[in-house]
Amino acid sequence: MNQQLALIVFLLAVAAGCASNRTVPPEAPSPALMAPPLPKSLASTTGFIEYYPDASKRAKEVGRVVLSLRIGSSGALDGPIAVDEKQTSAASRLVDAATKILSGVHFDVGNTYKRSIVVSLVFEIEPCGILTHAEGVDYRLNLCLDPNPYAYYAGAEKIPPSDLETKLHQILMHDDLADIDFLEKTLGISFRVTKAVDMSAYSTNDSGPHVKVTPQSVPASIAVEGLRYSSRTDQSINQTTFEFRFTPHDPIDVALWSAHWKARMTQVEWTHGAGRSEETDWGGEHGIHMSVNFATGGGRDITLSQRKTTSEPFASHTDMDLISAKPLVREIIALISEGDLRDVERTAGTLHAGINALSQSGPYWQWYTLETVIPGVDPADFTYGVNDTGLDSIPAPFVTPAYRSDRKVELQMTIDTYHVCITRKQVEAELRRRSIQFVRKSPFADDSAYTVPGRNRIVLSAWTFRGCVRQFQLSQTTGGSRARSAHPPIGT
């Protein structure tokens, strides 16, 4: 029995040895899985450049974000997106933006595609290509931001430029703000232009060739008030700076304009939140700088400026014919004789001008704008405000409490002394002709002040230069004088 058992054990051992020496063919390796094709929504980074956070643009934040994704059986993401902290160098705002870009993305699924993928996203602001991607990732996406805030304005080719945008483009292409004739023809403005004279004949602060330009007629598309053309010469560097500023009645879409003409615009914020400017430097032999300004209160204007050598002549007609001073003097003194400057409609009729209320007036003052040209008056410096509330506040960049005040009116006009010369003798003669009692006070040689007493106390101030009045200011006080210090702010 023991022999039989031993034989069985021997045979089993031999069989096991034979089995151990048998050759077994190896298993075939599994094919390597590939990353699925990049979804169409990620094929062009300009499609999601809008995800670049505004705060990151202002702070000029750049960096790399590495994300891991799990793809479900339907192609949608299965589970939250994981951030590879070790390989990510971007700020948290950019990490959030990268996560938003990949959220909701669908991938193709199949037996040959990976279900776990890694994406590297690089956020940059021009110049591009400086930052590198992480190694061993499945996708590399680059978001390189053009600093021009309007670089990605969509659909510009489908919207034709407005009439104003086309005219602005023509002026920039012409590249010569000294060509006043071209400005007139393009914008439909008629200017009165002097010959080039030495600036010292008009101002004590400047010298060199200068022309005085004031509008005679202005089209309905452009506001009369604020329209200004100026030139200043620096003889030490043989350079003249030209500036042309105007306010269009129709709004200008700066984004669409820059997209139409491929202009690179930059945005400048004003202090204390007063507004902003959209600016561009247009190329050319000299180049024109264009600034479109938007005030927080609703005002807007366009300023074009250019620097050229002083030796380059103005291209313009000249009008040296003088304007009679008598009509303007009579109109100004007639305002005083009427005794109340608060009647805006009567003031407009006396000056034979269009005067309309401004929408961005303050809580106590109502300000008015000049809508038509007054011969001899420079509309660039016309001011007319009425405060009939009995309250006022100290001008400041911040909100200040109101205090009790007189009811007031301010009317200021700058005179075109190149074409009309009004003397103090003419002013006093017209006051006497109308039998207006006045007290003259002249603290300075070039200044005169005429006080007219009455229920409405009116003061006519006249500042002169070389014997001609260059500015009139009419100030009216109703209800007697109150010292500001005697009346604390309302509510205290």
**Closest C-alpha among 94, 64, 100 to residue 81:** 100
pLDDT at 465: 82
Please say if the pLDDT value at position 485 is more than 50: no
Q: What is the mean pLDDT of residues 168-172?
A: 94
Most confident of 38-52, 331-345, 402-416: 331-345
pLDDT at 313: 65
pLDDT at 492: 42
Share of the chain above pLDDT 90, in %: 40
CA distance 87 to 395: 54
pLDDT for 227-265, tens place per residue? 999 888 877 788 888 999 999 988 888 888 888 888 888
CA distance 170 to 185: 11
pLDDT at 385: 93
Q: What is the mean pLDDT of residues 161-182?
A: 92
How far is CA 126 from its chain centroid? Answer: 22
Mean of the per-residue pLDDT values of the chain: 83
In eight-state DSSP terms, residue 30 is P
Q: What is the mean pLDDT of residues 208-223?
A: 85
Confidence of residue 417 (pLDDT cuts 50, 70, 90): confident
Please say if the pLDDT value at position 312 is more than 90: no
Q: What is the mean pLDDT of residues 329-339?
A: 94
pLDDT for 262-296, tens place per residue? 888 888 888 777 788 989 898 877 889 999 998 87
Q: What is the mean pLDDT of residues 192-218?
A: 73
Confidence of residue 202 (pLDDT cuts 50, 70, 90): low
Domain boundaries defined on the chain? 40-145, 158-309, 325-486
Beta strands in 132-287 (DSSP E): 139-145, 190-193, 197-198, 209-210, 213-217, 228-234, 239-246, 266-269, 275-282
Please say if the pLDDT value at position 484 is more than 70: no
pLDDT at 46: 64
Burial 311-350 (b: 16+ CB within 10 A, else e): eeebebeebeeebebeebbbbbbbbbeeeebbebeebbeb
Share of the chain above pLDDT 70, in %: 82
pLDDT at 8: 55
pLDDT at 434: 94
Strand partners of residue 63:
123
Please say whether the beta carbons of 339 and 475 come within 8 A.
Answer: no
Region class of 236: left (phi > 0), else alpha (psi between -120 and 50), else beta: alpha
Confidence of residue 462 (pLDDT cuts 50, 70, 90): very high
Q: What is the mean pLDDT of residues 102-111?
A: 89
pLDDT at 336: 93
**Closest C-alpha among 386, 425, 389, 414 to residue 404:** 389
Q: What is the mean pLDDT of residues 86-96?
A: 94
Q: What is the mean pLDDT of residues 358-375?
A: 84
The span from the first CA to the last CA of the chain, in angstroms, equals 124
Please say if the pLDDT value at position 184 is more than 60: yes
pLDDT at 486: 45
Q: Which residue has the higher pLDDT, 357 or 480?
A: 357
pLDDT for 449-458, tens place per residue? 899 988 899 9
In eight-state DSSP terms, residue 127 is S
Confidence of residue 209 (pLDDT cuts 50, 70, 90): low
**Closest C-alpha among 315, 335, 474, 339 to residue 410:** 474
pLDDT at 319: 74
**Closest C-alpha among 325, 316, 269 to residue 295:** 269
**Closest C-alpha among 408, 414, 411, 295 to residue 355:** 411
Q: What is the mean pLDDT of residues 426-431?
A: 94
**Beta-strand relationship, 116-125 and 139-145:** parallel
Least confident among 104-108, 397-401, 468-472, 484-488? 484-488
> In the sheet where 275-282 sits, what is the strand order?
190-193, 213-217, 228-234, 239-246, 300-309, 288-295, 275-282, 266-269
CA distance 205 to 229: 18
